[in-house]
Chain A
Amino acid sequence: MLIRVDPASPLGLADQIAAQVRAAVIGGSLRGGDKLPPARELAAALEVNMHTVLRAYAALRDEGIVDLRRGRGAHVRSDLAEPDRERVALRREVRDLLDRAARIGITPEELVNEIRKALP
């Protein structure tokens, strides 16, 4: 899969890599069971540390998007159903919302309060 990173971006390199894998899963270009690039290859190609790539993959594992197994590499979870994709997409929007809030000085707690206020 195609991965781009921008070292000048305020977003960390691992976050940039994770975001693109996440987007590919949501967009459907990565399907359940698909193998992610070997961390060493991707790291060498992007000229980043291998642990940066592994950190990205570990974050995706914690979100339930990929399976990480020693010796087998990283795979998109094959039990990832449509509701899960939706959830992954929603999480991304929440993260974007948090970033946007942080930029205008709203703390996560204040944001939660805003969301509560918006409840019918």
Chain B
Amino acid sequence: MTSPRQLLAALVVLQAPAWAAGVGLALRGDVPDPVPTHWDLAGDVDGTLALPVFTVVVLAVVGAATVLALGLVAASGRRSALASLGAAGATWLAWLPAALYAATLVASADAARAADVRLPLVTILLATLLPFVAALVVHRLLPGPVWREQPLPAESATLALADGERVAWVGQASSRSLLVLGVVLGLGTVPLWFAVWPAALAAGLAAIAVAWVHVVTVRVDDAGVAVSWGPAQWPRLRVGLAEIASAEAGDIEPLRWGGWGYRRTTRGRAAVARRGEGLVLTLRDGQRFAATVDRPEPAAELVNALVVRLSRTAR
């Protein structure tokens, strides 16, 4: 069955071939032939291609990726766990060449020779970002993986809570290796500053991000569970108490949850600073949410007690 959300996702996918073909048709008389297809670091053109060849290659890739994306969008209706992720990936694959093609033609419009064409930074950024946005939109529109059995809410808790009692649990997990890795990456960018500063900027930001996520703070209170990163507890992610079915302390193996940092996989979402113990929540929609944290048993007990109290007071 096709839902309106799937139709919308398909529309997003179809924008890629539509825009590539539209821009190609509209500008085919205004661009130099051959068209520039590659620029060096200084911004000078160092690669060109005949317009028909460029167009055919781009449309072939975009077309193939579009067909794949549409197939996966349709499959996501049959509750296949990986279809929506695959559809997002294929959408990106269709949008990227389409966006780069359109950006190239727009930048080349009215130029006499390929060598005169400059690609502005804004265009490059837009052409790189738009495919990600499109993929994200498609992923959001499609239903996520659905587990067959619905999770049972926690029914009893070992921790007794009075109705109005204020109680909280705060814990952290930190990884010295991630911090060291971040610092080493950061030092590694120093020589890059004198050669290619944009690359140094990107690497520097990555180094800061790696060092920043070396500490994860988990907070449990009557609003639910909040996970935050870094020494300033930012950014912060909240899981409302009403969304949670139950909690347990578990062993978190980063590679099974997609790696370190903040991860989304078919298993669920995870905030991972290190390998080892953590709090694993089962949400009411069947998804899971895991966060590494030291000594998580009391946290799991408190979450279960709060869930029980919420269902008691809601009754």
Binding site for B on A (CB under 8 A): 1-7, 35, 37-38, 40-42, 44-47, 71
Contact = CB atoms under 8 A, between A and B. Distances in A.
A42 B98 CA distance: 50
Contacts of B228: 41
B233 A3 contact: no
Nearest to A37: B170
B166 A1 contact: no
A55 to B, nearest CB: 17
Contacts of A6: 165-166
Nearest to A4: B167
Contacts, number: 54
Contact of B171 (A1, A7, A40, A44): A1
Interface residues of B, number: 18
A77 B66 CA distance: 61
Do most interface residues of chain A lie in helix, strand or loop, or is the interface mixed?
mixed
Interface string B203-232: 000000000000001011100000010010
A60 to B, nearest CB: 16
The main secondary structure of chain B at its interface with chain A is strand
Contacts of A40: 233
Interface in B289-303: 298-299, 302
26 contacts: A1-B169, A1-B170, A2-B298, A3-B167, A3-B170, A4-B166, A4-B168, A6-B165, A6-B166, A37-B170, A37-B172, A38-B170, A38-B172, A38-B217, A40-B233, A41-B219, A41-B228, A41-B233, A42-B170, A44-B221, A45-B170, A45-B219, A45-B220, A46-B168, A47-B166, A71-B231
Nearest to B218: A41
Contacts of A35: 172
A7 B162 CA distance: 13
Contacts of A38: 170, 172, 217, 233
Nearest to B168: A45
Contacts of A1: 169-171, 298
